[in-house]
Each structure stands twice: as structure tokens, then as C-alpha cells.
Amino acid sequence: MYRGVSVAFGPAIVRWADVRFAHRFAGGPAPVKLAKGTPEKVAALWKEWNRAVLAAAIASVALGSIIVTVAEGEQATSLWWWVGRSWTVVGLWLVFGPLWEEMSSPRTAKQS
């Protein structure tokens, strides 16, 4: 799980921290906060969710290879549990991230 999250989110986390550090300690510009319901915010949430899918896919491949090559019995069951949980998180992230934002945006409410 750690490897998947590190690969998928690592560069974005470093950029996030760099902007805040530069603002706080080096006189850089303030971080930009995207307004709710804007197309930019929705696009950013979809991009973030895609990173979550990538993280779960990397973790699933890594765990699956361990299950196939070395895990036995209860070990394999525990590893399958982690694979399932990673995809559960991806599903919840989809519902409460980009889909939630799209459904609650003023643009969508006006169309209804």
C-alpha cells in the first residue's frame, strides 16, 4: 500500500508542501484554493481520484504477486483483505470526491 501511495501521490504531495513552505518561509505567493463547484475544482478532484486508482492498482499488483508467489493460507487471506480495502477506499473516494462535487455544484443545481 505504501509503495502505491508513494508512487501515485508522492510528486503531488511534494509540490503541495513546496508551495506552502515557500509561502510561509520564503515570501512566496499564497497557495491557490479552488472555489467549490467550479470546473477547475471538479477537474482537480478527478485528477486526485485517478491518483487513488493508480495507487490501488500498484498496491494490488504488488500484493497479488506476493499472494501468488509466497503467501500461504491465512497470509494470502490477509493480503486479499488489503486488496479489497484499497478498492473500497477508491470507491468511497469516487462517491465523496468528484461525484459529490459535481452533484453539489451550482451549475448542476441550475440544470435540475
Q: The pTM is what?
A: 0.86
Cα–Cα–Cα angle for 77, 78, 84, rounded to 5 degrees: 90
Alpha helices, DSSP H, located in 70-97? 74-94
Q: What is the mean pLDDT of the chain?
A: 93
> Cβ distance 94 to 49 under 8 Å?
yes
What residue type is assigned to position 89 of the chain?
V
- Angstrom distance (rounded) from CA 103 to CA 94: 12
Tell me: the pLDDT tens digits for 40-91?
A: 999 999 999 999 999 999 999 999 999 999 999 999 999 999 999 999 999 9
> Cβ distance 54 to 5 under 8 Å?
no
The domain locations on the chain are 2-111
